[in-house]
Amino acid sequence: MFYSCSNLNVENLKLVNSQQINMSVEHCTHVKVARLSITALGTGPNTDGIHITRSKNVQVTDCAIRTGDDCMSIEDGTTCGPGHRISIGSLGDHGSEAHVTNVTVDTEMLHGTTNGFASRHGKVGGAMRRTLCSKT
């Protein structure tokens, strides 16, 4: 887990079979993640490849992510598959406010995913999504 980091570069790592979320970026600014290989069992619970929350200016490039859950999950504040999806959510869970803005998925490659690209929000609370796009 990377917590409250600034100007962070994470490159050329191989993560295999983490018990839960493989890599987490929380409360960070100006982060570059590149050339990661992340593999997790398809049967494991909550094995998100890269989880990003409450962070700004995060760039993820040239990563191969094969998990049993979301390849990437982006919450408040890449090559994928097999896995569930690239997920933005769950926003507004448990009555909370959540804001995710200016997300671009550019030339993504989704192979064997169950849902592709998803933007979700909770049943209660406020959620804002702005400028979300996918370019291929």
Q: 75-126: per-residue pLDDT in tens?
A: 765 444 555 556 665 555 555 556 666 666 665 566 666 666 666 555 444 4
Q: Answer yes or no: are the C-beta atoms of 23 and 52 closer than 8 Å.
A: no
Q: How deeply is 103 buried, as exposed, middle or buried, from its count of CB atoms within 10 A (0-12, 13-18, 19+)?
A: middle
Concerning whether 27 is annotated as a catalytic residue, the answer is: no
The number of beta carbons lying within 10 Å of the beta carbon of residue 136 is 8
Q: Of residues 69, 70, 76, 121, which has the active-site annotation?
A: 69
Against a cut of 0.75, is the pTM above it? no
State the Cα torsion 105-51-80-66 to the nearest 10°. 170
Concerning whether 48 is annotated as a catalytic residue, the answer is: no
> What is the C-alpha separation between 69 and 87, in angstroms, rounded?
10
Q: Of residues 48, 70, 84, 121, which has the active-site annotation?
A: 84
Average pLDDT score, the chain = 74
